[in-house]
Chain A
Amino acid sequence: AQSVTQLGSHVSVSEGALVLLRCNYSSSVPPYLFWYVQYPNQGLQLLLKYTTGATLVKGINGFEAEFKKSETSFHLTKPSAHMSDAAEYFCAVSDRSGSEKLVFGKGTKLTVNP
């Protein structure tokens, strides 16, 4: 079975500071990995995804994530936080089985302080 662990349910950074949201996964097969963002009372928006190829993936709004197989990690980063980045971030994994089921982490709430 697959699982996702997001370290830190809350992360607080200052505007302009580096954003680092941690995600570790467990999967018996090579995974597909996703980061989604959720603003209050809204659905999820895809930030970026890793399927195959380059392990450093760039997404929208200046975010990027690196797939590290040896560390089973897919941490999300952004060099400089903006106030508009304040939201809940979810890491998810699917197993490429064709069912495309997503298993989500518990989420990390990002607060950006002025």
Chain B
Amino acid sequence: GAVVSQHPSWVICKSGTSVKIECRSLDFQATTMFWYRQFPKQSLMLMATSNEGSKATYEQGVEKDKFLINHASLTLSTLTVTSAHPEDSSFYICSAQWEGTDTQYFGPGTRLTVL
């Protein structure tokens, strides 16, 4: 149980375009979803926390207008990287948890490459 999927698993796009990444909880209702960014050979950095039906809470230094997060249902959250640039290239990982639990369950990640 507690499976989280991400789509796509990898994406290559041109500079200036926007890319949407989906995060789905397959077998539970995720009241909270988290988006992380991981640079090569580094740890995960939390970008934002989203609760279903509410605006996402962004961490300090993360541009909310550039990284649009939508958590429209209890099983789906999306991260849209707007006007992507090569420095946005990274591994993006989402996690999800249900209300009352202390554990986050992670998706497999999406590798974004911006040319």
Contacts and interface: CB of A to CB of B under 8 A. Distances in A.
Nearest to B57: A99
Dominant secondary structure of chain A at its interface with chain B: loop
Interface in B20-57: 32, 34, 42-44, 46, 49
Interface of B: 4, 6, 32, 34, 42-44, 46, 49, 91, 93, 95, 97, 102-109, 111
A10 to B, nearest CB: 10
B49 A43 contact: no
A104 B102 contact: no
Given A43-B4, A43-B106, A96-B102, 10 more contacts: A41-B109, A43-B93, A43-B108, A44-B106, A51-B102, A90-B44, A101-B34, A104-B43, A104-B44, A106-B42
Contacts of B103: 34, 46, 49
B38 to A, nearest CB: 9
Dominant secondary structure of chain B at its interface with chain A: strand
B2 to A, nearest CB: 9
Interface of A: 32, 34, 36, 41-46, 49, 51, 90, 94, 96, 99-102, 104-107
B106 A45 contact: yes
